[in-house]
């Protein structure tokens, strides 16, 4: 079913309005987001996404509504892996908390464009060459296996080719200058380290999108559903970051759960023409895997949490 251009326009107007309201409210705060505020904002984004899901359900039917919900849950769960990397990036560059929020906001605007292009290309490929689904499925399966057996892989930003390229090609100042991405020093335009962080965040999001976008193709190839479920998941990423950044050490088994989800989705894509798993069953399996791995992680790290509270 094709989607009216006005539905596309209304979605983007809603996205930009929500981002503007969130950004204005954050500017009025003179302090870092507390755990309580991060929880409240995360819940607001989830409620807004579910409200949009309800509109999709009413306007496009039950199947489209279920497809959106399943795609949203997949993207939201895989976005947690982004958060682990963002924590490493912000820690490495020693980015102040208030500047972190600005980077994430602009990172989302970049993701709107990059993911839109990737989804359009992906849908076009799948519609013209059906066998591409098998390639996507095999890629997700291999990614899940790699994630499962290489959980301790570390990112070395000093040796990263992209980082060295940016430092060589761009005039970058040595110090941060508040929340500014660029400044003028002695009449010369210079980028601050915050711009380098923003570029790296967008590049990492693009890399993760290579995994997450094909995962939704296992559910649907409706371009509108794939795109909107992606963006709704990303919109909640900022608040979720400030919530989970303080608890990142406690999710020790979550990567295992994400690896299982990628493996399951990849297998579903490969077997789709011979053995089709209904999307409602896929949704239940994904939720169960997430619930088990998060619960086991929290139980296994209770002692760590008590020690942190005592300190």
Query: Where are the domains positioned within the chain?
Result: 5-310
**What would the pLDDT profile of 7-25 be if each residue is shown by its tens digit?**
888 888 988 888 787 777 7
Percentage above 70 pLDDT, the chain: 90
**H or E element: which one contains 182?**
strand 182-185
Q: Are 211 and 262 in contact (CB under 8 A)?
A: yes
- Is the pLDDT at 53 greater than 90, yes or no? yes
**What would the pLDDT profile of 230-265 be if each residue is shown by its tens digit?**
888 888 887 788 777 777 777 888 888 888 888 888
pTM attached to this predicted model: 0.81
| CA 114 to centroid of chain Cα atoms | 13
Pairing verdict, β 182-185 and 188-191? antiparallel
What is the band of 156 on the pLDDT scale with cuts at 50, 70, 90? low
**H or E element: which one contains 218?**
none
**What would the pLDDT profile of 122-145 be if each residue is shown by its tens digit?**
888 887 887 888 888 888 888 888
Please choose, from the candidates 226, 230, 209, 208, the residue with its C-alpha nearest in 3D space to the C-alpha of residue 217: 226
Q: Is 125 exposed, middle or buried (0-12, 13-18, 19+ CB in 10 A)?
A: middle
């Amino acid at each position: 079913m094709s989607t009216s251009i006005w539905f596309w326009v209304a979605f983007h107007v809603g996205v930009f309005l929500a981002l503007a309201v969130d950004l204005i409210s954050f500017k009025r705060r003179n302090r870092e987001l507390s755990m309580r505020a991060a929880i409240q904002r995360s819940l607001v984004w989830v409620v807004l996404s579910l409200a949009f899901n309800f509109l999709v359900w009413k306007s496009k039917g039950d199947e489209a509504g279920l497809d959106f919900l399943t795609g949203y849950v997949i993207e939201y769960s895989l976005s947690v892996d982004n958060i682990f990397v963002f924590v490493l990036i912000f820690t490495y560059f020693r980015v102040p908390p208030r500047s972190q929020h600005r980077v994430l906001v602009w990172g989302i605007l970049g993701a709107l464009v990059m993911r839109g292009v990737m989804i359009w290309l992906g849908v076009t490929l799948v519609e013209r060459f059906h066998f591409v689904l098998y390639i996507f499925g095999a890629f997700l399966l291999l990614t899940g296996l790699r994630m499962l057996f290489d959980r301790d892989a570390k990112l070395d930003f000093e040796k990263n080719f992209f980082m060295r390229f940016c430092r060589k090609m761009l005039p970058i100042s040595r110090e941060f200058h508040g929340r500014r991405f660029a400044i003028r020093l002695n009449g010369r335009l210079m980028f601050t380290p915050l711009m380098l962080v923003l570029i790296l965040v967008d590049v990492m999001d693009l890399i993760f999108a290579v995994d997450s976008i094909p995962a939704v193709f296992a559910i649907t190839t409706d371009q509108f559903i794939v795109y909107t479920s992606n963006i709704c998941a990303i919109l909640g990423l900022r608040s979720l970051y400030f919530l989970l950044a303080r608890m990142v050490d406690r999710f020790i088994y979550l990567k295992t759960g994400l690896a299982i989800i990628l493996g399951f989705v990849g297998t579903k894509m490969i077997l789709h023409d011979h053995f089709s798993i209904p999307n409602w069953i896929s949704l239940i399996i994904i939720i169960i895997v997430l619930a088990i791995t998060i619960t086991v992680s929290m139980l296994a790290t209770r002692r760590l949490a008590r020690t942190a509270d005592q300190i």
